[in-house]
Amino acid sequence: MAGKATSTPTTYSPSPTSHKTKVPIFSDDRVRPDGRGFNQCRPAFFRTGAVNAASGSAYAEFGNTKVIVSVFGPRESKKAMKYSDIGRLNCNVSFSTFANLVHREGSDHKEYTTILHKALEGAIMLETFPKTTVDVFALVLESGGSAKLPIICFSISISDNFVMHVVGDLSVVISCASLALADAGIMMYDLVASVSLSCLNKNLVIDPILGEENCEDGGLMITCLPSRYEVTQLTVTGEWSTPMLNEGMQLCLDACAELAKIMRSCLVDAAPGSEE
C-alpha cells in the first residue's frame, strides 16, 4: 500500500481504550447465576424414541436447552454418490426459529454440522453398513439461555452471526445424537459424550449457559468415548495457560464419564423387558 510506510509505525488505536469495570457475573462466592456450583453440570434428562417415524431418536433436556435428534437409515445412498465400501454419515443441525431470545430466520449452521459429523464418525462402525447412508438430523428446540441473567440480549444485528455462539448447545446435540444412533441400532464402539467448559476470570465453569459463555475468556469443548477414554473432538478458543487447560480437560473428561452413565441408564430403561 503506497504511502503507508511512516517512519515510526504507531500502534493503531483511534480511541483511547477505556478500562471499564466488568460487572462480575458471579454475585456470591462460587455460586453461579442459576444456583449451581462451578463444577456442577445442569441436570440432564434423556429419553429415546421421541419420534415414531425415525429408525431411532432421542430427546435431551439440560436445564433450558432442549434438543431433539432423529436418525434415519441406514438407507441406500443417493444415486449420484460413488460406490463406497463403508457407510456414510450425513448430519444436519438446525435451530427452531424460537430457539433464541431473538427471533431469527432459520440460519445456516454449517459449522455445527461439521463438528457433529466429526464428533460422531469416530465412534460409528461405518464398515457395518456399506453402500448406505445414515442420516442424523438434530433440531435445537430451545437454546441454553436463561432470562434471569444479568446480561440479557435485546437485539442482535444481522451481521454478527459469525460469532461462534452457544457451544453448550452443541455438546448437548452431540450427546443426544449418539443416544439416537444407539436407539436406531447403529453399531458403535461406544456412546459419545460431550461437555463444554468456560474459563471466566481464572475460574473454570463447567457446562456454561448463554450468559456465562458470552463473557468467557476461553472456551473448551471435549467430545469423548468414555469407556475407551478417547477424545474424538476437541475445540478450544480464547487464551489458556497449559496447567489451566490440563485442569479443564480433566474436569470435562470426568463430566463426560458421569454423563455417559446417565445416557447408559436411559438406554437400559428403554430396553424392552426392563420393566419386569
Partner 1 sequence: MVGLSSGEKQFIQGGIAQDLRCDGRKRLTYRPIYVETGVIPQANGSARIRMGATDVIASVKAELGKPSSLQPDKGKVFIHIDCSPTAEPAFEGRGGEELSAELSVALQCCLLGGKSGAGAAIDLSSLVVVEGKNCWDLYIDGLVVSSDGNLLDALGAAIKAALSNTGIPRVQVTADASSDEQPEVDISDEEFLQFDTSAVPVIVTLTKVGRHYIVDATSEEESQMSSAVSISVNRQGHICGITKRGGAGLDPSIILDMISVAKHVSEQLLNKLDSEIAAAEAEVEDDES
Instruction: Answer for the pair 212, 25: CB distance below 8 angstroms, yes or no.
Output: yes
One-letter amino acid of 233: Q
Cell of 159: 451481521
Instruction: Answer for the pair 191, 209: CB distance below 8 angstroms, yes or no.
Output: no
Cell of 176: 443426544
Name which position in 101, 139, 236, 270 contacts partner 1 (CB under 8 A): 236
Instruction: Answer for the pair 198, 132: CB distance below 8 angstroms, yes or no.
Output: no
Q: Of the ranges 17-25, 31-39, 137-145, 261-269, which one interacts with partner 1 (CB under 8 A)? A: 17-25
Cell of 108: 445456516
User: For partner 1, what does the binding mask look like between residues 186 and 225, x meaning CB under 8 A?
Assistant: -------------x-------------xxxxxxx----xx
User: For residues 28 and 160, which CB has a smaller minimum distance to partner 1 in the complex?
Assistant: 160
Instruction: Answer for the pair 141, 96: CB distance below 8 angstroms, yes or no.
Output: yes
User: For residues 47 and 117, which CB has a smaller minimum distance to partner 1 in the complex?
Assistant: 117
Sign of CA dihedral 249, 213, 236, 259: positive
Cell of 256: 463426560
Instruction: Answer for the pair 198, 208: CB distance below 8 angstroms, yes or no.
Output: yes
Residue with grid cell 456412546, as numbered in its chain: 191
Supply the minimum distance, in Å, between the C-beta of residue 188 and partner 1.
12
Establish how many alpha carbons lie within 13 A of residue 89's alpha carbon, considering only the half-sphere containing its beta carbon: 24
Supply the minimum distance, in Å, between the C-beta of residue 265 and partner 1.
23
User: For residues 5 and 53, which CB has a smaller minimum distance to partner 1 in the complex?
Assistant: 5
Name which position in 1, 53, 147, 268 contacts partner 1 (CB under 8 A): 1
Q: Of the ranges 13-21, 45-53, 56-64, 91-99, which one interacts with partner 1 (CB under 8 A)? A: 13-21
Per DSSP (E only), the strands in 96-200 are 132-142, 193-200
Number of residues that make up the chain: 276
How many residues form the binding site for partner 1 (CB under 8 A)? 64
Instruction: Answer for the pair 57, 69: CB distance below 8 angstroms, yes or no.
Output: yes
Closest CA to 68 of 88, 87, 86, 52: 52
Name which position in 55, 57, 133, 232 contacts partner 1 (CB under 8 A): 232
Is residue 234 a contact residue for partner 1 (CB under 8 A)? yes
Supply the minimum distance, in Å, between the C-beta of residue 169 and partner 1.
15
User: For residues 56 and 226, which CB has a smaller minimum distance to partner 1 in the complex?
Assistant: 226
Name which position in 114, 128, 203, 265 contacts partner 1 (CB under 8 A): 114
Name which position in 238, 261, 269, 271 contacts partner 1 (CB under 8 A): 238
**How far does CA 124 lie from the centroid of its chain?**
18
User: For partner 1, what does the binding mask look like between residues 135 and 164, x meaning CB under 8 A?
Assistant: ------------------xxxxx-xx-xxx
**In the complex, which residues of this chain contact partner 1 (CB under 8 A)?**
1-6, 9-15, 17-18, 20, 110-111, 114, 118, 120-123, 153-157, 159-160, 162-164, 199, 213-219, 224-225, 228-242, 245-246, 249-250, 253
